[in-house]
Amino acid sequence: MSHLSTDEFVDLLDDVLPAARGEHLRTCVQCRTEAEGLTGVLVRATETRDVPEPSPLFWGHLASRIREAVAASVARTWRELVWWPGSAWAAGVASMVLVLLVSQSSFRRSAEREFSHAPFESAASRLTRGTPEPIDDLEGDQAWAVVRTVADEAGDNAADDAGIATRPDAAERMTLELSSHEKSELALLLASELKRSGTGPR
Amino acid sequence: MLTRTWAPASDPATMRVRVTRSSPPDAAAPVSGRTDYTALDEQGLVDASLAGHTAAFDVIVERYSRRIYQLCYRFVNNHEDARDLTQDVFVRAYRGLRGFRARAALGTWLYRIAVNVSLNRMALKTPQTEALDRREHRDRTIELPDTALLRSERAAEVRAAVARLPRKQRATLILRVYHELPHQEIADILGSTVGAVKANFFHALANLKKLLQ
- Domain range for residue B14? 1-128
Does the beta-carbon distance from A62 to B8 stay under 8 Å?
no
Which has more pLDDT, A92 or A114? A92
Give CA separation, B150 vs A47, B147, B154, in Å.
Answer: 12, 5, 6
Q: What is the pLDDT along chain B (213 residues), one digit of tens a residue?
A: 333 433 333 333 333 333 333 344 444 555 444 578 888 888 889 989 989 898 999 999 999 999 999 999 999 999 999 999 999 999 999 988 888 866 678 999 999 999 999 998 887 765 455 444 444 444 445 556 678 788 888 888 999 999 999 999 999 999 999 999 999 999 999 999 999 999 999 999 999 999 998
Give CA separation, B189 vs A79, B84, B144, B172, B209, in Å.
Answer: 31, 21, 39, 10, 25
Does the beta-carbon distance from B91 to A6 stay under 8 Å?
no
Spatial separation of the C-alpha atoms in residues A149 and A143, rounded to whole Å: 10
Judging contacts by C-beta atoms under 8 Å, the chain A residues touching residue B70 are 51
Specify the CATH number for the domain of residue B186.
1.10.10.10
Which has more pLDDT, B141 or A43? A43
Q: Which of B54, B90, B178 is facing A49, going by the closest CB pair?
A: B178
Spatial separation of the C-alpha atoms in residues B172 and B157, rounded to whole Å: 19
Q: Which of B61, B198, B203 is facing A63, going by the closest CB pair?
A: B61
Does the beta-carbon distance from B82 to A54 stay under 8 Å?
yes
Q: Which of A7, A13, A46 is facing B195, going by the closest CB pair?
A: A7
B115 and B176 in a single domain? The answer is: no
Contact present, B187 and B193 (Cβ < 8 Å)? yes
| For range A117-140, the mean pLDDT | 51
Residue B35: strand pairing partners: B30
- pTM for the model: 0.60
**In-domain check, residue B169:** yes
Confidence at residue A133, expressed as pLDDT on a 0 to 100 scale? 54
Q: What is the largest CA-CA distance in chain A?
A: 99
Which distant-in-sequence residues (6+ apart) come within 8 Å of B64 by Cβ? B106, B107, B110
B185 and B139 in a single domain? The answer is: no
Spatial separation of the C-alpha atoms in residues B65 and B81, rounded to whole Å: 14
Give CA separation, A140 vs A27, A110, A135, A144, B166, in Å.
Answer: 84, 20, 10, 8, 52
- For A130-177, the pLDDT digits (tens) are 545 555 555 455 565 555 545 544 543 444 444 444 444 445 456 556
B60 and B74 in a single domain? The answer is: yes
Nearest CA-CA partner of A91 in A153, A33, A17: A153
Judging contacts by C-beta atoms under 8 Å, the chain A residues touching residue B201 are 10
Please count the other Cβ atoms lying within 10 Å of the Cβ belonging to residue B33. 5
**C-alpha count within 13 angstroms, C-beta hemisphere, residue A115:** 19
B148 and B186 in a single domain? The answer is: no
Going by pLDDT thresholds of 50, 70 and 90, the confidence category of residue A49 is confident
DSSP string covering chain B, please?
---EEEE--SSGGG-EEEESS----TTS-EETTEE-GGGS-HHHHHHHHHTT-HHHHHHHHHHHHHHHHHHHHHHH-SHHHHHHHHHHHHHHHHHTHHHHTTSS-HHHHHHHHHHHHHHHHHHHSPPP-HHHHHHHHHHHH----HHHHHHHHHHHHHHHHHHTS-HHHHHHHIIIIIS---HHHHHHHHT--HHHHHHHHHHHHHHHHHHH-
For residue A4, the chain B residue with the least C-alpha distance is: B202
**In-domain check, residue B123:** yes
Contact present, B23 and B44 (Cβ < 8 Å)? no
Confidence at residue A129, expressed as pLDDT on a 0 to 100 scale? 53
**In-domain check, residue B71:** yes
B94 and B142 in a single domain? The answer is: no
Spatial separation of the C-alpha atoms in residues A23 and A8, rounded to whole Å: 13
B196 and B143 in a single domain? The answer is: no
Spatial separation of the C-alpha atoms in residues B136 and A161, rounded to whole Å: 41
B134 and B68 in a single domain? The answer is: no
Is any Cβ of chain A less than 8 angstroms from the Cβ of B12? yes
Judging contacts by C-beta atoms under 8 Å, the chain A residues touching residue B95 are 70, 73
Confidence at residue A37, expressed as pLDDT on a 0 to 100 scale? 96
Does the beta-carbon distance from A51 to B70 stay under 8 Å?
yes
| For range A70-85, the mean pLDDT | 64
**In-domain check, residue B159:** no
B173 and B206 in a single domain? The answer is: yes
Contact present, A170 and A155 (Cβ < 8 Å)? yes
Confidence at residue A197, expressed as pLDDT on a 0 to 100 scale? 66
| For range A100-124, the mean pLDDT | 52
B113 and B19 in a single domain? The answer is: yes
Does the beta-carbon distance from A44 to B65 stay under 8 Å?
no
**In-domain check, residue B158:** no
B117 and B169 in a single domain? The answer is: no
Label the pairing between strands B4-7 and B30-31: unpaired
Residue A125 sits at the vertex; the CA angle it makes with A120 and A131, to the nearest 5 degrees, is 105
B59 and B85 in a single domain? The answer is: yes
Q: What is the DSSP letter of A84?
A: S
Lowest mean pLDDT among A79-83, A193-197, B93-97, B167-171: A79-83
Picking from A3, A5, A10, A81 by the largest number of B CB atoms within 10 A of its own CB, the best residue to mutate is A10
Domain boundary among B113, B128, B143: B128
Q: How many domains is chain B built from? A: 3
B99 and B172 in a single domain? The answer is: no
Nearest CA-CA partner of B197 in B162, B172, B165: B172
